[in-house]
Amino acid sequence: MIVCIEDVLDLTELRQIRSSLDAASFVDGKTTAGYRAKRVKNNLQMDKAADGAAQIKDLVLKGLKRNPTFRRVAIPRSIQSPLISRYQVGMNYGRHVDDALMGGDSKTRTDLSVTVFLSDLEDYDGGQLVIDTSLGEQEVRLPPGAAVVYPSTMLHRVAPITRGERLAAVTWVQSHVHDVAKREILHDMDLISHALAKLAPEADETDLASKTYSNLLRMWSET
């Protein structure tokens, strides 16, 4: 399931992030790529020790954690510290799959990949996130502050930049529910439960929907 989420970051947060990025130092993106991805990764990443790096990452994580759609889609158990990527003209990231385990000595499984877009759409051309699906390639190019969440099992790439500069934050989630199909069922059940709570808050069926969601999550979750 590929889900696009609006307004993960608000305008004030985006301004703070862009101000910090203007003065930040960047390094070769290959330093954080897996052995296969190094062949096709051609971008820059914000230096982890750069001034403002911790604040930017904290803003991105807070934006994701407070977003109800993200929580519903991901059911996050843990979220990796985001990487801030910069693509300039001619840069791209070829077709690859993200590493299954990330996080240094204390590794976690990557169930979901997340891109939070930081650049205005009119500031660059190209740079689409292109995800391989059973129906062919799906291109994603979202306004600043929006995010796309998709299974880390999927091959994907970032198309070459032909004008301007693309900035984005990328991170990975280990979910309480590992199975993609089960997460989709829970996502739909949660939507139904919340809709019924608005339409018929006192109905028995509303209680049953809430009960069913909770019991499915209890049955399928990994702690």
Decide if pLDDT at 14 tops 90: yes
Fold classification of 3-175 (topology level): Jelly Rolls (2.60.120)
* Cα dist from 179 to 60, 76, 99, 153, whole Å: 25, 13, 17, 11
131-146 pLDDT per residue, tens: 999 999 999 999 999 9
DSSP state of 119: S
Query: Which residue do the tokens 């403002």 mark?
Result: 52
Cα(223)–Cα(212) distance, integer angstroms = 19
79-119 pLDDT per residue, tens: 999 999 999 999 999 999 999 999 888 899 999 999 999 99
Provide the pLDDT for residue 104: 80
The closest of 73, 91, 96 to 26, measured between CA atoms, is: 91
Cα(55)–Cα(35) distance, integer angstroms = 29
Cα(183)–Cα(178) distance, integer angstroms = 8
28-81 pLDDT per residue, tens: 888 877 777 788 999 999 998 888 889 999 999 999 999 999 999 999 999 999
pTM, two decimal places:
0.93
Would you kindly state where each structural domain of the chain is located, as residue ranges? 3-175, 180-220
